[in-house]
Amino acid sequence: MNGRESVLIVLKAAIVALIACTVAAQAEECPRQDALGTSRVLTVDPATYPRVGVQSFPQTLPLEDHEVVLTFDDGPNPPTTSKILAALSRECVRATFFLIGQSAATNPQLVRRIAAEGHTVGHHTWAHADLKKISNAAAIEQIDRGIAADEMALHGKAGSTPTTPFFRFPYFESTPALLDLLQSRGIAVFGADFWASDWNKMTPEQELKLISDRVKAAGKGIVLFHDTKAQTAAMMPDFLRYLRENHYRVVHVVAAAPGKSVQRIP
């Protein structure tokens, strides 16, 4: 056996060990074998994907057929967010939560729970203001103050540079100046590809029918819910079961490290 063959054997052994460790870690993270699970992690670089979601922008995330990204706005709200976290945990699913700074400041333990359970924390202004209806300076203050409150809740240290550079405009109302500002700061703006319309009053059964029909019609995409809505919290276990039974796969989005482009990690 020559030196090159020895190196190849060592590399193969290391790869096998890494795969074994990964499988073991996944099994440990998700004890239910029949759970929906998180299919893969999609690492998003704001330089490559500065704005995503076809309801607002021409571009969206590079998802395959039957892949969905679950996102929740306006939390945290203890009664409903906790129920949604429990439903996600039972199915071993990870999502993205776009938080309101005021609510994060009031409920820092819940913010830390969201992060501790593996979900991505994005930003949704300080007080859910319509940034298109206020001055540019006031809009920037809403963005920065919201980010600072989220960062304080997460890390005990405020700052206008987010750990995870993902932002969603309240009501999807942006301006060209604000979009350019966020892009210059390396913050990706998330719209959505479709949503549950859960700002409208309806029963959990009606919401399940509405969102499952939209998932089926779209085939894939970024889905928007609100974790402040009781009907959404009540509906979530059934929706996740719908995804599982109809062979949809959940993709978890995370931020790229500085200087890294979009990667797909199985």
Return the active site residues. 73, 226
Residue 251 to residue 228: CA distance in whole angstroms: 22
Q: Where are the alpha helices (DSSP H) in 123-247?
A: 136-155, 176-184, 204-218, 230-245
Cis status, amide bond into 76, omega within 30 of 0: yes
Could you tell me the sign of the dihedral formed by the alpha carbons of 155, 159, 164, 167, in that order? positive
Max Cα–Cα distance, the chain, nearest Å: 73
H or E segment and range at residue 81: helix 78-90
Residue 34 to residue 53: CA distance in whole angstroms: 30
138: left (phi over 0), alpha (psi -120 to 50) or beta: alpha
